Amino acid sequence: ERFGHWKTVYNRFHRWAQAGRWEAIFKALRLPVDELGSLADASVVRAHQDASGGKGGSEEMLWGVLEEVFQRRFTPSQRRAVSRSTSR
């Protein structure tokens, strides 16, 4: 359970959706694109057949953002074995 219990994740997701936080996150992650650059057509831009096997990185960035967003806000208490001293 990388991000915690599923119900906790669902509840947070649902609250954030109702509060509009997801829209704000996606708006912040959106990269600025000039008007001419956004008009590229797949029939004009061609890639070699091996180009799809590249290193990538955007998915790694997304996971980094999600880990930051869903980080635990508390420190789980660690139970220590309590032993009583026999000396008086």
Q: What is the 3-state secondary structure (H, E, C) of the chain?
A: CCCCCHHHHHHHHHHHHHHCHHHHHHHHHCCCCCCCHHHCCCCCCCCCHHHHHCCCCHHHHHHHHHHHHCCCCCCCCCCCCCCCCCCC
The answer, as to whether pTM is greater than 0.85, is: no
Question: Is 78 domain-assigned?
Answer: no
pLDDT 10s digits, 26-47: 888 876 665 555 555 555 556 6
63 in a structural domain: no
Amino acid at 41: D
Does residue 22 sit within a domain? yes
Q: Establish if 15 belongs to a structural domain.
A: yes
- Give residue 14's domain range: 1-32
**Alpha-carbon gap, residue 84 to 17, rounded angstroms:** 51
Please give the tally of structural domains in the chain: 1
pLDDT at 16 over 70: yes
Mean pLDDT over each residue of the chain, to the nearest integer: 69
